[in-house]
Structure 1
Amino acid sequence: MRGRGQRAGAVLLALFGTVAAAAPAAEVRQVRTDAAGVVQVAGRLAQAGKVAEALALLDALDPVDARRRDVRFARAVLLIDLGRAAMAEPILARLVTEEPHATRIRLEHGRALAATGDFGAAERELRRALADDPPRAVVASVDVALRGIRAQRRFFGSLGFGLAPDSNINAATGADSVDLFGLPFTLDREARRRSGIGAVVNAEVGWRQPLSPRVAGVVRLNGWGRFYPWADMNVDDVVADVRGGLELALPQGRLTPEVTYLRRWFGGHGYAQGAGVGLRADHRLGKTWFGSVIIDARRLDYDRVRSLDGWVSSARVQADHQLGAATTLSIAGTLSRTDARDKGYASWLGEGDVSLYCDWKGGWTTGISAGGGRLRGDERIDAFADRRRDWRWRAGLSLANRRVSVAGLMPTIRISYDRIDSSIRLYDLERRRVDLLLTRTF
């Protein structure tokens, strides 16, 4: 994997390598006490092909000078050039947390990540570096590197798990009673909102196998679950989503048609399952915009309530904008259609979301998001006097620190708020949740 990663990152070497021409060895003694001068001489030695000698020169600096950012950066670049990217990557990762807006550091960090086989992180870092409007030659080289990374990437995935205090573990209304067939009915305890602490797990694993220079086969397995072992009722919720298809390389993106299968369990029993098709298109729109269109359609069959059986389809459009090397704005809109045997449960749902993610000094990453939507039922549900019409609102905050690691996992805090105001009181919902997670992307 390292050899493939080094080839994917090699296109950046000539452009982002050390600077200046080779200097005569006699100059080393004259500038040895000047750390900035030593960095310059090391750069000249490296350009002359004497990379090992240049690294030895930097290693000879006293500990105080060795902690300088320019010295650490120059040393990391030399380590990459010597094929020791695994040693360079943590140095550059630390420098990124200290200077999140430094484009050159992000470019070299991306090169180190690619050389160590962490293609997903390398791609994200290089895209962020493009946001600071680098010269055209740099943009062209990064484009070549990104295509090389995508071509070499085989295995990918992510993992997150932790605890989740939740104000509404059963996603129920807070009302004490509802009107059914025109008469008031008191809801029992299990049908009303309950709070508790759960365990959350989410994971993705995938494999990409090239079939030709522009076509690859891709298989993905996504899963998430929320478990409440301390609750006095079983409201565990688990979803598994399997996707397989072809990834077609485009000049500025990729197109992925696929087949899908989904299985959901709730309360320890099967809840629904269905197969379908999907299509995803990713395209780069200039240096700082990246767009995605995701279309899904599947037939869902419910284990217990057959009146809900039917097709569920959706189309999502998302645009990500790099406001700078350390700031990403994401805007998305989704239109969903749910069909059902009982037309009272068929509906249209339109939603919109906006998110902002920022990297800060010290390794901190913050995220803020807000969204809303409108659901309209096709017909009236028999037990209720009106069609279902919902207004939906949500907001979220997240906080993580890339400099903190627990067994290779990054601690992450996510706070979310969800609210549904429905024309049918039974479907009113309010939920506050805190996810305390350990996460990793690979």
Structure 2
Amino acid sequence: MRWLSDSVKWAAIANMAAQIIGMLGQLIFIPIYLHAWGGEKYGSWMICVGVTAYAAILDFGVSQAASNEMIASIAKRDQKTAQIWSSLAFWVAIGMSLAVGLMGICAAPYAIDFLGNRLGAGDSSQALYFCVVIQLALLVTFNMYICLIRAAGANATASWISVLAIFLEVVIPPCIALGGGTLAQAAAGLVVPRLLGLVICGYALRALAPWATVTVASREYLVRAKEILIPSAANLLQPGGVALFLQGSLVVIGSMLGPQVAAAFGVARTVSRLPFQLCYVFTRAQMPNLTKSISASDKEGFLRSFKPVVLIYFCLTVPMLFCFAIFGEWFLRAWTHETLSFSFALVGGLALCSVLHSGWHMLSAPLVARNLHGGFSVAYFVLVSVSLCALNAMPNLASCVALIAIMEFFALIVSWRQFKSLVFLRF
């Protein structure tokens, strides 16, 4: 890893640790879930708890956009502007956390009925629902803190805090399930890591960036908010599209073909996304460097930061997914003790989807780093919306996977065109 700077290296190691913990947790604990609850209940768990993926978009993209502007302000030694960006991100995140709680209370009767009658959560549906709502509200604020800590120059620290939270999230719920706990009790176990993470983040930000104090909202906040309106919308649409499709496709497949099929699809997709996450950790670690090099029109610095990401994609991610396509069906059957049914079409199709997804994510990273990803984000969200509607007309699981692969292919084409037209215009 000599081609990586020290800050990027430690951030990449921390991100890698998070992915390894997640990977080992999935390899060890998914069979435990299946043994404790069975395929149908585990499918319901994946559909319910997967909703927390939407936490990445519930601050309307402000945290990511504001933190990018913070990095640019710090690079210019403009601490006052950086402090305004941090305060803006804080107030938006707090406001959205409260809004999530309010919306959760309003939607409770309908959501609890859906959980109990359609997904088979039974008596646990009410407690399960409110645990998921609390988890969502906490995640919005937690993600904001992580963005601010990264922007303050402590990329590795932010990654290690995330590692701790992920480790606890991976370990606590399956232990509860193994002890005979219900879906609701396992969901309650997800709340603890984020509460602890918020406390640690608060102390870390105070120590690393004492200037990032929260001030009372003023008219200048509105001026700054207008500056990042389009980047924030883009930050909302891209992760929003990913979250919508990951969770939406699971819900659609579960509604059409049953929780058992949704569980098989979800488990296979989880494993197929592990090589993508390997590429993601290096991309995420390089984001501050990409932001600085594009802001300064430093072509050499950009290439020095971006080449390792491309190398990881072609030398590790793609070969790993090729192996998964060949041996994945056998592995998944043995891993789940044939509790779930898998096919070569499902495994091979999801491997192809992950190759395409990793490709467009890699190409869009420089766009995100300097808030240039508005066009791609809109196009991707449209692709996701159309594909989710089309999924309802698919007759079986294989055709659903084929449709997903087509969507990811078009996303790759759009990201490449945006990458060529926008990034290189900066140099």
Alignment TM-score, normalising by the size of structure 2: 0.24
Structure index of larger Rg: 1
- The structure with the largest strand share of the pair is 1
- The structure with the largest helix share of the pair is 2
- Which structure is richer in relative contact order (CA contacts within 8 A, separation 6 or more)? 2
